[in-house]
Amino acid sequence: MSPIANANDKAPGLTFYSKDQIECPICSAKFKREELKSGGGRLIAGALTDELRRLYEPSAKFGEVFPLAYSITVCPKCHYAAFPQDFCVLDKDSLSKIYDRMQERYTSVRRLCAKPDFSSARTLSDGAASYYLAMMCYELVDHKYSPTIKQGVCALRAAWLYDELGKKYPEENYAYVSTLFYRKAQFFYRHAIDLESSGKEMIANMKSFGPDVDKNYGYDGVLYLSALLEYKYGAKGDPAKLHDTLVTQRRALSKMFGLGKSSKSKPGPLLEHARALYDSIVADLNDEEDDDEDA
């Protein structure tokens, strides 16, 4: 694709910089983290999508606001990127591996963002690129930090932000990039659950399962999103594999929610979306059976 230049059309007064400087544990660069201000009509909550993403209505004063763009801490010098709770606490071996891949990060991120700049006000393009950088860094992180599910959340959020870029710049290939990140998210969510089941990597070390920044849907949210991503982006070209996947996800959803029975312990929106997904999967499987009988 041909990356576009970053245009900073953000309304003044939307963000601020942290009072204390952060020192990068890899290259020792010092910088201040950009934070999104709260209140004042900056965030007008809209609908919740089936992917558990919170949409926000543009405000008259601040226009469009994308809180996700500010969630990842990125060193402007070496492009080490991670969630704030991980940035300064990773073990030396993980940090050493991330340091060794510095040039690869420089090269790779410029394929998506022509002029990534994490030393000044962050744009939507920078925000999307920050998740890609974080995915690359978490690939090198020790299992005790639950890197796989964090890669999954980063991939899903990157897909959302590149989808927004695609709406703004339809002449670019951001819609295609968004689909690639959705497929990455599908893989990481499934892999994280497999690692958890085998005891090789615990998902519980994730501070917030998100997937968005406004609410934590917990481990049940992870199971639901894994099923949803498999349903949307699974093996469409392989009917047998798709069938097995649908059966597996139907079983997982039925165990989570007792075949659709209500549960006071689970968030209402999550329960509603899970029921809808379960019904869709059951309908697809029934259609398969009808097709087999007609054949």
Q: Is the per-residue pLDDT at 195 higher than 90?
A: yes
In this prediction, residue 12 carries a pLDDT of 63
In this prediction, residue 8 carries a pLDDT of 43
Paired sense of beta strands 81-82 and 30-31, if any: unpaired
What are the backbone dihedrals phi and psi of residue 221, each rounded to the nearest 5 degrees, phi first?
A: -65, -35
Domain extents for the chain?
Answer: 15-180
Angle between helices 124-138 and 102-109 (to 10 degrees): 140
Task: Report which of 81, 69, 53 is spatially closest to residue 14, judged by C-alpha positions.
Answer: 69
Give the whole-angstrom CA distance, residue 212 versus residue 23: 27
Question: What's the average model confidence in pLDDT over 52-70?
Answer: 91
Question: What's the average model confidence in pLDDT over 65-84?
Answer: 96
Strand locations in the chain (E): 15-17, 22-23, 30-31, 34-36, 44-48, 54-57, 73-74, 81-82
Using CA atoms, how far residue 116 sits from 78, 122, 277, in Å, is 12, 9, 38
Question: What's the average model confidence in pLDDT over 113-117?
Answer: 82
Give the whole-angstrom CA distance, residue 232 versus residue 251: 17
261 by Cβ neighbours in 10 Å (0-12 / 13-18 / 19+) ranks as exposed
Q: Are the CB atoms for 280 and 231 separated by under 8 Å?
A: yes
Instruction: Provide the token pair at 96.
Output: 């050493």
Paired sense of beta strands 54-57 and 44-48, if any: antiparallel
Question: What's the average model confidence in pLDDT over 168-179?
Answer: 94
SS3 (DSSP) at 63: strand
SS3 (DSSP) at 61: coil
Q: Is the per-residue pLDDT at 154 higher than 60?
A: yes
Give the whole-angstrom CA distance, residue 3 versus residue 260: 45
pTM of the model: 0.91
Q: Is the per-residue pLDDT at 295 higher than 70?
A: no
Q: Are the CB atoms for 90 and 25 separated by under 8 Å?
A: yes
pLDDT band at 185 (very low <50, low <70, confident <90, very high): very high
Q: Is the per-residue pLDDT at 70 higher than 90?
A: yes
| pLDDT, tens digit, 9 for 90 and up, residues 46-55 | 999 999 999 9
- For residue 189, the cross-strand partners are none
Question: What's the average model confidence in pLDDT over 119-132?
Answer: 94
Torsional class of 54: left (φ above 0), alpha (ψ -120 to 50), beta (otherwise): beta
Q: Which amino acid is at 169?
A: Y
Task: Report which of 267, 154, 281, 275 is spatially closest to residue 230, judged by C-alpha positions.
Answer: 281
Question: What's the average model confidence in pLDDT over 157-166?
Answer: 97
In this prediction, residue 2 carries a pLDDT of 44
Q: Are the CB atoms for 50 and 157 separated by under 8 Å?
A: no
Give the whole-angstrom CA distance, residue 52 versus residue 156: 11
